[in-house]
Amino acid sequence: MTNLNTDLGFPTQRLQADVLVVGGGTAGTMAGIKAKQANPDSDVLILEKANIRRSGAIAMGMDGVNTAVIPGNSTPEQYVREITIANDGIVNQKAVYETGRLGFEVIQELESWGVKFQKDPDGNYDLKQVHRVGKYVLPMPEGKDLKKILTRQVKRHGVKVTNRVMATRVIVQNGRATGVVGFDVRSGDFVVIQAKAVILCTGACGRLGLPASGYLYGTYENPTNAGDGYAMAYHAGAEMTNIECFQINPLIKDYNGPACAYVASPFGAYTANAEGHRFINCDYWSGQMMLDIYKELNSGNGPVHLKMYHLDDDTIAKIESILWANERPSRGRFHEGRGENYRTHGVEMNISEIGLCSGHSASGVWVNERAETTVPGLYAAGDMASVPHNYMIGAFVYGRIAGENAVDYLQSLDHLEPDPDFLAAEQTRIYAPLTQPNGIPHTQVEYKLRRLVNDYLQPPKSPHKMEIGLEKFVAYADTLTAMGARDPHELMRCNEVSFIRDCAEMAARASLYRKETRWGLYHYRLDYPDRNDAEWFCHVNLKRTESGEMELFKRPVEPYIVDVDLKREVYDVAVR
């Protein structure tokens, strides 16, 4: 047997852990901490392809919590009801309920670690109502150091961290997850990690569509999140769900960030059309709201903007200090460079490229209320695990659930020696671009792939376009073999492109399979413009068959634990 990595001069590193967490962001740090708390004797390792101090979707910080269920303000039952309505009923309520039930404990624990949430003068959490229903937004005006605080706790709990190693595949033996393979993105070493349980926390698939700016990494989501976990879970045989429910967000035109209406609206800012009037029908952040925005953008009243110019100077200065100092320091420079000022200009908004992310919508790896995927020993949490509208608090809650359950699960298990044939095949696959350094650069291959995603998958969805897209995504597997890399960093990018291709194929197949329109703009089909509960009140799940085919099937919605009448209760209040 020849080892391609050793032929290229890279040694193999072998590691072992009881619990292996892939991805050291919001969910991953919490999963590691909770696994260690559940059993301090267990060996817990977090694998991170960047550096855990500043990685993941909250790499810099976070200016607020979107889903805080604080006693006295709301209940887990209310929360479940609202998430159910916002998702047109397609939810596993038991899983959503856990976010409502455990979210407050998470907030209290973060607070004990030094994270400051906004409180009113009476010492109560200063929750803000930003939609016409529900009161779940809790500002974090000093949230810029959240990731540093989490890293400190990971260290204090004795969780091991391996930075700069990218996982590429989950090892599955005897029907259970037994580790991962990957490589060091600096040294190029081949890395094989045996584990008794694997928790995937790799975030969204944020590099699916191409942003209007044309920049590969100018995405709404953190651009390091290429859908690694979606692809790894799929290849491990785990079920994926609601992939056709795309993530689309309103964001600042030409700037890769949200307009932050959540932050600015309590101060009196709002989303307005070109005439300066509010226009959004929908009462809650959902695909229905995106459809309102899409329609207005494409009407005579577009473009739309975040309006602050009616506010006074002091109020605007306060908004600026939160938006610019906490979440995205580049934002102030962006406006300055364009000669724009919130005092005189609205912040022009656009609709983002598509992505997959359960944090904002519902697509992801199927998990139950114990964070278990359909593969034993494989857990998922955060933006890649389908618990709809989970946001940051949901990532913490499911990181915790995954960490605790994984420790419980692995008690009587032993490590398994990986199959050498599997390792050899994986080496050949991973390192192929390094064998042809003059192959097509990854940037070109990625750019074209994501242009195809924009051209053929961006809603409103046309069946013929999606068929063309699907054909091209399938054929693109061959294009990937022409990619070249000159160093381990480029090799990482090449492997990310292959993850993006997997996600694009899943997105096309799932969108073609569900023959109705649901979730507003997220799955707006031109050929089936109406919701069809009789045939499609179900999840669309997909998985890889033994023979390597992508199989799609309906999965029934579990019985509700909180009663919701979806005929009567809608957030689209539809006033003329």
Residues that bind other proteins (CB under 8 A): 53, 114, 116, 121-123, 132, 142, 145, 148-149, 152, 155, 268, 270, 275, 277-281, 310, 312, 314, 573, 575-576
Name the helix (H) or strand (E) containing 98.
helix 93-112
- Nearest to other proteins of 281, 511 (CB atom): 281
C-beta of residue 348 within 8 angstroms of C-beta of residue 253: yes
Residue 270 CB, shortest distance to other proteins, in Å, is 8
- Nearest to other proteins of 97, 279 (CB atom): 279
Residue 78 CB, shortest distance to other proteins, in Å, is 19
- Nearest to other proteins of 325, 512 (CB atom): 325
For the record, the structure tokens of 528 come out as 């089936």
Q: Which residue type does 11 have?
A: P
Helix 76-86 and helix 93-112: axis angle, to 10°?
Answer: 120
Residue 147 CB, shortest distance to other proteins, in Å, is 11
DSSP 3-state of 79: helix
∠ CA 410-415-420 to the nearest 5 degrees? 140
- Nearest to other proteins of 149, 512 (CB atom): 149
- Nearest to other proteins of 122, 565 (CB atom): 122
- Region of residue 347 (left: phi > 0; alpha: psi -120 to 50; beta: else): beta
Residue 159 CB, shortest distance to other proteins, in Å, is 13
Residue 562 CB, shortest distance to other proteins, in Å, is 24
C-beta of residue 213 within 8 angstroms of C-beta of residue 256: yes
In whole angstroms, give the CA distance from residue 529 to residue 531: 7
Residue 568 CB, shortest distance to other proteins, in Å, is 15
Question: What does the CA dihedral 404, 29, 138, 397 come to, rounded to 10 degrees?
Answer: -20
In whole angstroms, give the CA distance from residue 454 to residue 431: 29
In whole angstroms, give the CA distance from residue 81 to residue 97: 9
Strands 44-48 and 160-163: what pairing? parallel
- Nearest to other proteins of 37, 301 (CB atom): 301
Nearest to 228 by CA among 170, 188, 153: 170
- Nearest to other proteins of 143, 182 (CB atom): 143
Residue 158 CB, shortest distance to other proteins, in Å, is 13
Q: What is the 3-state secondary structure (H, E, C) of 300-349?
A: CCCCEEEECCCCCHHHHHHHHHHHHHHHCCHHHHHHHHCCCCCCCCCEEE
- Nearest to other proteins of 121, 559 (CB atom): 121
DSSP 3-state of 174: coil
Residue 151 CB, shortest distance to other proteins, in Å, is 8
Handedness of CA 296, 507, 59, 155 (dihedral sign): positive
Residue 51 CB, shortest distance to other proteins, in Å, is 9
Residue 289 CB, shortest distance to other proteins, in Å, is 12
- Nearest to other proteins of 148, 186 (CB atom): 148
- Nearest to other proteins of 325, 413 (CB atom): 325
Integer-rounded Cα Rg, in Å, for the chain is 23
